[in-house]
Chains A and B, each alone.
Chain A
């Protein structure tokens, strides 16, 4: 089955700086890669996703890049703000097997 690894497990950045979180996956059939943000005690919220037919997707301060050959994808947050502090999870799945396999999460702390 699919295995998703996520790094780092914790990340602290100064407000205004950029943050990068990286994930690798094992199943070359995976073609859908969402990112979720989870604040303490709250539900995971989908913040951005990418499909394997594109290499990069951007939504305001958030971008995701995908390298299918290397089987890794990354979340980039620019101009970080205190409200970006949360745990971020990457996940992978493929059409025909819609269950998401999640990474272990990255606790992002934005230092004011």
Chain B
């Protein structure tokens, strides 16, 4: 499968714990995005990278959230001290700056905070 992949697909954690998600983009894509989707809503932008540089962060991304893309390939999204309100689907997407802005999504990581 050469599409965007995410790991894990599901994560259940207790409030206050830290969690980390991974995204592997389509190999030739230099842009990588994180979105959050809650039930019945469209995806909301969190942050995006071009190569290894984090170019924009949403105000939704509190200081408990951090994202990295150390070598311009895969990315990680960490949430510290999780809260019940963090429960959502975390979607990763990738695109190529050479190919317009067509963003292709991964299957998502569903986070449940108990």
Contact = CB atoms under 8 A, between A and B. Distances in A.
Interface string A1-41: 00000100000000000000000000000001010100000
Contact of A46 (B40, B42, B104): B104
Nearest to A4: B42
B43 A98 contact: no
A91 B85 CA distance: 24
Contacts of A95: 101
A98 B42 contact: no
Interface in B90-114: 91, 95, 100-108
B33 A102 contact: no
B102 A46 contact: yes
B interface majority secondary structure: loop
Contact of A98 (B35, B44, B95, B104): B95
A105 B107 contact: no
A99 B48 contact: yes
B45 A44 contact: no
Given A43-B4, A95-B101, A102-B43, 9 more contacts: A43-B105, A43-B106, A43-B108, A44-B91, A97-B56, A99-B45, A102-B42, A103-B42, A104-B42
Interface of B: 4, 31, 33, 35, 40-45, 48, 56, 58, 91, 95, 100-108
27 contacts: A32-B100, A34-B102, A42-B107, A43-B91, A43-B106, A43-B107, A44-B91, A46-B104, A89-B42, A89-B43, A91-B42, A93-B101, A98-B31, A98-B33, A98-B95, A98-B101, A99-B33, A99-B48, A100-B33, A100-B35, A100-B101, A101-B45, A102-B43, A103-B42, A104-B42, A105-B40, A105-B41
